Every structure is written in structure tokens, then in C-alpha cells.
Amino acid sequence: MPFSKEMGEVGNGVLKLIGRGSLANTHDLSLIARRWQAFYFDAETKVKFTPFSYQSMAGLTNYYNHSHWSWIFITKNDQGQQVIEVAENKGGLRNGQYTSYLKDKAIVIPDGTEYVWFKTKVRKETYRYEYSFDGKQWHTMAHYSG
């Protein structure tokens, strides 16, 4: 699908996506993807995002299809704080299982933080997510099997 103004804007080294459906949505989702081309690689993104509720999210995903994916993302918790969460969807919408790994232990984003960096490190059959508040000092999350 070609990139359009309905999806967002691109220019000056910045990509701005307009929020649409969730990753489980089979029609209108805001997703820029690149197929894995190696068994060992790192992928990184810098995110500027202010969620308005727990239902608004933005981040980095390892995405197979609308039924199988995981991601690290920014959202809001029940206390209204911006947080980093990690979640996984296995098996689809009807019989699948969506697991939120951090829940009440989500990483609170410090006040005044403008950007959050996300990274995935894929190592053949496993991968992990990392985050940073300055793009230099990285914090590792759990490892996952593909």
C-alpha cells in the first residue's frame, strides 16, 4: 500500500504517523514495516508520543501478521502516567491470547522526557526489547522466543 497523507507525513528525517486501528486490525492500522532479512540484526526507532489514554499506544513491533506479534510501546497507565509496556499477541482475535507482560510494573517515563528510543535485538530464534530515555544508555527487557 502506498504511503498517503491519511497515514501521516514524511520529511526532514521525520516520519509522523496518524493513529488508526490496532495491530490486530486487518484493515486500517498505522504501521511501517520491513521484512526480516537476516537471522541476526538490531532495529531501532526514536518515538515522540503523548498518549491520551491506555487505548493509545505507539512503539516498535516484531510483527508476523495480525494474529502473531509482540511489541514495546508507550501508553498511559491507570494513574495517568506515561509508561513503557511490553505485550504479545499469539493466535489471533478469536482464539488467541494477548499478554501484557509488565502491567502494574510498567516503566514510568520521567516527566519532561521528550523522546523514548526503542530497540529490538534479534538473535536467530530469540529476540529482546530495549529502551532508552537518551539514546545512549539502554535498558534491556526480557528475552522472547520467536
**CATH number assigned to the domain comprising residue 132:** 2.60.120.200
* pLDDT (tens digit per residue) in 81-114: 999 999 988 876 666 788 888 888 999 999 999 9
Instruction: Give me the domain span that covers residue 60.
Output: 36-145
Residue 44 in domain:
yes
| Cell numbers standing for residue 14 | 521525520
Judge whether residue 69 has pLDDT over 90. Answer: no
CB 106 within 8 A of CB 116: no
Residue 106 in domain:
yes
Q: Which residues pair with 88 in a beta bridge?
A: 70, 99
Question: Average pLDDT of 123-146?
Answer: 88
Query: For residue 144, what are the CA distances in angstroms to 116, 126, 132, 137?
Result: 21, 5, 19, 21
- Total structural domains in the chain? 1
Cβ atoms within 10 Å, residue 127: 19
Residue 6 in domain:
no
* pLDDT (tens digit per residue) in 13-65: 888 877 766 666 666 667 777 778 899 999 999 999 999 888 888 999 898 87
Residue 17 in domain:
no
Name the pTM for this structure. Answer: 0.85
Residue 21 in domain:
no
CB 16 within 8 A of CB 10: yes
Residue 18 in domain:
no
Residue 68 in domain:
yes
Distance CA 79, CA 5 (A): 34
| pLDDT for position 17 | 78
